Amino acid sequence: MKEVILLKYGEIVLKGLNRSFFNTKLESRVRRALKSVEGEFYFDYAQSTLCITPSDDADIDGAYERVKKVFGIATVCRGLACEKDMEDIKRVLAENIDELLGNAKTFKCDAKRSDKKFPLKSPEICAICGGIVLENRPDMKVDVINPERVITIEIRDRQAFIHGNGEKGAGGVPVGSSGRAMLMLSGGIDSPVAGHMIARRGAAIDAVYFETPPYTGELAAEKVRTLAEILTEYCGEIYLHSVSLTEVQETLVATCKEKLFTLLLRRFMVRCASRLAERYGAGCLITGESLGQVASQTMQALAVTDAVATVPVLRPCVGLDKEEIVVRAREIGTFDTSILPYEDCCTVFTPKHPDTRPDMAEILEEEAKLDVEGLVERALATDHFVKLG
């Protein structure tokens, strides 16, 4: 008997002819996630399940927590591997009954007989194993409709597995299977959630943070770095770029109409982020914008900012309200960092009465007063990045 971790694949089982590509990506992501965990881990894939067998000195608890954050996995189970023999299955079940049941008072057994040559059918396996449970834990009751704990017995090609209730995995598809994206990462609640959502759809993530020294300080930059580091737990490596927009903002304040400051600034951000995306091989931008949440996120304002993008702009939070975004931020662990009270560059020069229905002709008239290309080039010349994860 050996304790193992079983990873049940999600939607990638439906990928048809491309399935081997996604399988390879997922196994690579799992291996990468476990590189920093103590001990050796051995992998065996069969029938939409990746079985991870740890060495005797391995940190199985740490491994279990890490793989729960790998995109592409529907369910994560800690289980017991045993011989594909009913007597051995009964023995292992009896010896580990308390660990499998925990504090539950009701249970049911569920058998999955992938190997159809096994002499007993699924109902017979369930009946025998249920009897073992009741014999060892007479306080338990069978509930086949709504049990507190399900004990699953899997009969596979090479061995059998026994496990209790699994935990929900991260879902989605493996990072790297859908290309690369550039996340416009502020210090707020929304953008880390947006990055997580697109990474869950298979995009490898890089990020760009726009700073405005001396108006924004080191604490604000450190906050963004911490958010990026949290995202690496799900996304793997992230190159976090920092670009200074101090000259841009000071020029806008000195030259342009106050009501358009935010929109003009957003257009500069999108220009710079698009250039970085093209430079580093990202196929799209990601923002945390939600329709109608603030003045710069009306339909007209989004159209104005999108007009200068040279790659697609994805907004996974666009249909979520703030409460829904906060729930997701708490789930992925970014919320407590996002609410730290450090200014970002968008809030430093916020106009008192921003234009929520901007006219493109007026925007272009204001930008005609500026050396747009020169400002973009000088901003990008400040780009510096750090590799995280």
Here the tokens at position 389 are: 């994860």
pLDDT at 388: 97
Q: DSSP labels for 313-343?
A: EE-TTTT--HHHHHHHHHHHT-HHHHTS---
- Mean pLDDT, residues 27-44: 95
Among 142, 168, 194, the domain boundary falls at: 168
Considering the domain architecture, whether residues 160 and 189 belong to the same structural domain is answered as no
Cα dihedral 321→327→330→332 (10° resolution): -90
Q: Using DSSP, how many helices (H) and how many strands (E) does the chain show?
A: 15, 15
Among 139, 168, 197, the domain boundary falls at: 168
> Helices 122-136 and 86-95 meet at what angle, rounded to 10?
30
pLDDT band at 193; cut points 50, 70, 90 = very high
The type of residue at 318 is V
pLDDT tens-digit series, residues 138-170: 999 999 999 999 999 999 988 999 999 889 999
| Number of domains comprising the chain | 2
pLDDT tens-digit series, residues 318-353: 999 999 999 999 999 999 999 998 766 555 567 777
Tell me the β-bridge partners of 173.
201
CB of 33 closer than 8 Å to CB of 235: no
pLDDT band at 250; cut points 50, 70, 90 = very high
Considering the domain architecture, whether residues 208 and 353 belong to the same structural domain is answered as yes
Considering the domain architecture, whether residues 382 and 325 belong to the same structural domain is answered as yes
| pLDDT at residue 1 tops 90 | no
C-alpha span between 76 and 59 (Å, rounded): 16
Considering the domain architecture, whether residues 100 and 225 belong to the same structural domain is answered as no
C-alpha span between 141 and 135 (Å, rounded): 11
Return all residues near 181 (Cβ < 8 A) that are at least 6 apart: 198, 199, 203, 204, 205, 206, 277, 282, 283, 284, 285, 286, 314
The dihedrals phi and psi of 44, each to the nearest 5 degrees, come to: -145, 115
Considering the domain architecture, whether residues 79 and 149 belong to the same structural domain is answered as yes
Tell me which residue range forms the domain holding 30: 2-168
pLDDT at 63: 97
pLDDT band at 205; cut points 50, 70, 90 = very high
Considering the domain architecture, whether residues 163 and 206 belong to the same structural domain is answered as no
pTM of the model: 0.90
pLDDT at 26: 94
pLDDT at 344: 64
Q: DSSP labels for 284-295?
A: -EE----TTSSG
- Mean pLDDT, residues 91-97: 96
pLDDT tens-digit series, residues 96-149: 999 999 899 999 999 999 889 999 999 999 999 999 999 999 999 999 999 999
Considering only residues 21 and 165, tell me which one the structure prediction assigns the higher pLDDT.
21
**Rg from Cα positions in the chain:** 26
CB of 88 closer than 8 Å to CB of 118: no
DSSP 201: B
pLDDT at 350: 73
CB of 94 closer than 8 Å to CB of 132: yes
pLDDT at 217: 84
Considering the domain architecture, whether residues 209 and 94 belong to the same structural domain is answered as no
